[in-house]
Structure 1
Amino acid sequence: MKPYRDFSDFLRGHFDGKVQKITVNAGFTCPNRDGSKGRGGCTYCNNQSFNPGYCRPSLSVREQLERGKEFFARKYPQMKYLAYFQAYTNTHSDDIDRLMALYREALDVDGVAGLIIGTRPDCMPQDLLDRLAGLREWVMVEYGAESACDRTLELVNRCHTWADTVDAVNRTHAAGLPCGLHLIMGLPGEDEATMLETVDCINELPVDTVKFHQLQLVRGTRMASDVEAGLYDIPRFTAEEYISLCVRILDRLRKDIAVERFVSQSPSDLLIYPRWGLKNYQFTNLLHNRLAEARNII
């Protein structure tokens, strides 16, 4: 028995057979960079830290998906794919027809069974939500919420509030679309109690999935400069301490919510902290072992 509901469990409720996400960079920007909401972006953000090599906006959506399929198709010929619009804010456009054309381009690629659209909670107009809900294909929306603490959101220059997240999630659920949240653990100014309060706030929403990951201090970000200048520091977990936090998060999180991940891994040449020397699957194995030990003790 799995120690918690994971993303594969969630997908099995919607698809038969194996399904793989393929990341797409459609060339969007962010309202927190282009002046629509703010300038400079979130203080921790360096988008190079999570984009695969094939994922370049100089390639069309179709070309990116076809390149992404090459590896998986050799190994799993019958696999289906989800086009994951990940980079920056993938609903940030006044031209809804243009957005829908990009999504349609992805859905028309052979083997693509649905979309996951990553965006901000303050960037989902109701007209777009209604049109997404009208598609015959499967669509999920993933909102970068990061924290339920407005003081934290202001400090890291998110330029939205937790109320924006509540509104977006409720409207997405009302439209009949699955909804996920992305949260960062260890943002500046947050202690464990604050992070667990965010989990309590998640439990109150009609959320289907969550992604947690540790704060990564990445070169080229304003946060890295601020920390180096001594303006503030960030919580610095050892791997063991972060595993303990994840156990407490799972104890608190509503059991029907699927957890996609607890960690992320930026490229080594960009990453300042944490440098645990663990691959994502190794961390997950350690977490599962800790959960198994806790159950045996109980």
Structure 2
Amino acid sequence: MGQIIYSWGHKRRYNDFPTYFRNLFSERVQKVSVDAGFTCPNRDGSKGVGGCTYCNNKTFKPTYCNLENSVTNQVEKGIEFFAKKYKSMRFLAYFQAYTNTYAPLADLKTLYEEALQHPKIDGLVISTRPDAVNAELLDYLAELSKKVYVMVEFGLESHLDRTLESINRGHTFAESVWALQETAKRGINNCAHMILGLPGESRDELLEQARAISQLPVKNLKLHQLQIHKQTLLEKQFAEHPERFTLYTAEEYIDLVVDYLELLHPDIIVERFISQAPIDMLIAPKWGLKNFEFVAKVEKRLKERDTWQGRLYE
């Protein structure tokens, strides 16, 4: 008896991003991070100050990303770094740090189009917030996406407004729904970014989140475990009230991810399950697992339980 081919067209038990991307592009594609010097509306006072309670941008910014380097220089340094590993490769410019749509449209066009000038850049991935896009910007990105690959990655983080307020996000879940709907109806690729394990959220609520996300026009999904980073408000809150936090062990989180996947719409492409902060910036949890090791454990657990993404989706 052969293996099942699932609705997403292959034998893996979830709709994984690497397979999708290999089918979309004819060769290996790598994101190259760019720091264009943005801030956030919950940092500069327009929505709040201090930023999100969990945020320390140093945890995911490569060393070549610094504001002394132009967009062009950062793209070139990133390509140079990855080109040493693989001979044949194309690249996407990943505007990653802070809110990368938080500027006048004319300025955004200049930055995005500077990145696209590089002959090896085939598109853009733009990380932002759901309350930092508008119709004019999305119309521009819709036109751009007819020529190159464009992905807008929205930090939703939670589906619960009480959580969004407690972590100082400065937007509501209704704004997240609007942003996903507006990108989808224009044919722009979107990605929802969620954190599992934020203070005050129960396991049942996290599984309800999977149901909520499945009702939305989400193309890609990024999950990651709550991590407590140094030099954040969350570090202080954890030190003062550790009882308010549920820090999953790796095994507990694997089971949570599998339960989440069972409820998730089978058409949603899952880009990742965990995030890895540099160990010297991480307070907890310290699992010591690389991304590929965690993926292997999730796939093993899916097989052990003979289950798959969307098995319980209704």
Residue 55 of structure 2 corresponds to residue 45 of structure 1:
yes
Inter-partner Cα distance in structure 1 for 2:85 and 2:283: 34
Match runs of 1:1-298 below 5 Å: 1-93=11-103, 95-135=104-144, 136-230=147-241, 233-295=244-306
Unaligned stretches of 5+ residues in structure 2: 1-10
State the Cα distance separating 1:13 from its structure 2 match: 4.7
Q: Give me the identity figure in percent.
A: 50
Deviation per CA, 1:110-151: give whole Å up to 9, x if none: 210000100000000111111111112221111000010111
User: Aligned partners of 2:240, 2:192: CA distance in 1, in Å?
Assistant: 32
Unaligned ranges ≥5, structure 1: none
CA distance in 1, matches of 2:23, 2:158: 28
User: What root-mean-square deviation, in Å, do the aligned CA atoms of Structure 1 and Structure 2 show?
Assistant: 1.5
Q: CA deviation at 1:163?
A: 0.2
Q: What is the CA distance between 1:65 and its match in structure 2?
A: 1.0
Q: TM-score, normalised by structure 1?
A: 0.96
- 3-state SS of paired residue (2:132): coil
AA at the equivalent of 1:102: L
Letter in structure 1 aligned against 2:117: D
Measure how far apart 1:74 and its partner are: 2.7
In structure 1, distance between residues paired with 2:135 and 2:302:
41
Aligned mates of 1:176, 1:9 — CA distance in 2: 21
Output the CA distance in 1 between the equivalents of 2:176 and 2:90: 30
**Contact 1:217–1:274 (8 Å) recurs in 2:** yes
The letter of the residue matching 1:274 is: P
* C-alpha spacing 1:57/1:89, structure 2 compared with 1 (3 Å): same
Partner amino acid, structure 1, of 2:94: Y
Q: Which amino acid aligns with 1:118?
A: S
Report if aligned partners of 1:6, 1:258 keep a CA contact under 8 Å in 2.
yes
Q: Equivalents in 1 of 2:161, 2:75: separation in Å?
A: 36
With structure 2 as the length reference, what TM-score do the two structures score? 0.91
- Partners in 2 of 1:231 and 1:262 — Cα distance? 24
Structure 2: which amino acid aligns with 1:54?
Y
Q: Take 2:86 and 2:279, find their aligned partners in 1: how far apart are those partners?
A: 29
Alpha-carbon separation, structure 2, partners of 1:189 and 1:87:
27
1:14-35 per-residue CA deviation (whole Å, 9 max, x = no partner) reads: 3222111111111100111001
Which residue type is aligned with residue 109 of structure 2? M
Give me the whole-angstrom Cα distance separating, in 1, the residues matched to 2:288 and 2:38. Answer: 33
CA distance in 2, matches of 1:55, 1:28: 12
In structure 1, C-alpha distance between the alignment counterparts of 2:59 and 2:92, rounded to whole Å:
21
Contact 1:188 1:232 in 2 (8 A): no
SS in 1 for 2:127: strand
Contact 1:82-1:116 within 8 A present in 2 as well: yes
Q: Tell me the distance in 1 between the aligned counterparts of 2:36 and 2:182.
A: 25
Aligned 8 A contact 1:226 1:232 in 2: no
Q: Note the alpha carbon deviations across 1:146-170, whole angstroms, 9 max, x for none.
A: 0101111111111101000000010
Verify the 8 A CA contact 1:21 1:82 in the aligned structure 2. Answer: yes
Using the TM superposition, give the Cα deviation of residue 75 of structure 1 relative to its aligned residue in structure 2, in angstroms: 2.8
SS of the residue corresponding to residue 159 of structure 2 reads coil
